[in-house]
Amino acid sequence: MNLSEKDVRYVADLANLRLSDEEVPRMSHDLGQILTHIEQLNALDTSNVEPMAQVLFDADETATLREDVPHKPLSNQEALANAVSSGAGYYKVPKVIDRA
């Protein structure tokens, strides 16, 4: 299985990940190698097998419900404490659309 450099750039875009020109061919090689290994799964017939998303245990359907007890949430100040840029109680980000 090969992943072309064009594919790599497309996936990097989907992942919001800037890759350098040196990283792209390396990623193409490494991912190709891993995807080739993964192809072995095609040898297994799984047509009648339920997919497993989570380790599940028997419990009452309402088991995870809890009392709706009010509690103090994180303060605005605490929530913003690790922000790179904030002001007036909000996160600040660069402009979303460049109209230039």
Partner 1 sequence: MSTPTSLASLTIGSVRAGLQKKEFSAKELTEAALQFAQAENPETNAYLTFSPERALSAAAKVDAEIAKGSPMGALAGVPLGVKDVIVTKGVRTTCGSRMLEKYIPPYDATAVTRLEDEGAIVIGKLNCDEFAMGSSNENSAYGPVRNPRALDRVPGGSSGGSAAAVAQGTACVTLGSDTGGSIRQPASFCGVVGVTPTYGRVSRYGLVAFASSLDHIGPFARNVEDCATVLHAMAGRDEQDSTSAFAPIDDYNALMKHPVKGLKLGLPTEYFEGLTSETGAVIEEAVKKLESLGCEIRKISLPHTKYALSCYYIIATAEASSNLARYDGVRYTMRAEGGGTLADMYRNTRGAGFGVEVKRRIMLGTYVLSAGYYDAYYKKAQQVRTLIARDFTDAFKDLDGILAPVSPFPAFKIGEKVDDPLSMYLSDIYTLTGDLAGVPCMSVPCGESKDGLPIGLQIFAKHFDEATMFKVAYNYEQATTR
Q: Which residues bind partner 1 (CB under 8 A)?
A: 3, 7-8, 11-12, 14-20, 23, 26-27, 30-31, 33-35, 37-38, 40-42, 44, 46, 49-55, 57, 59, 63-64, 66, 74, 78-79, 81-85, 91, 93-98
* Residue count of the chain: 100
Identify whether the C-beta of residue 89 lies closer than 8 Å to the C-beta of residue 80. yes
3-state secondary structure 64-76: CCCCCCCCCCCCH
Task: Report the residue number, 6 or 26, with the smaller CB distance to partner 1.
Answer: 26
- Amino acid letter, 39: E
Task: Report the residue number, 6 or 85, with the smaller CB distance to partner 1.
Answer: 85
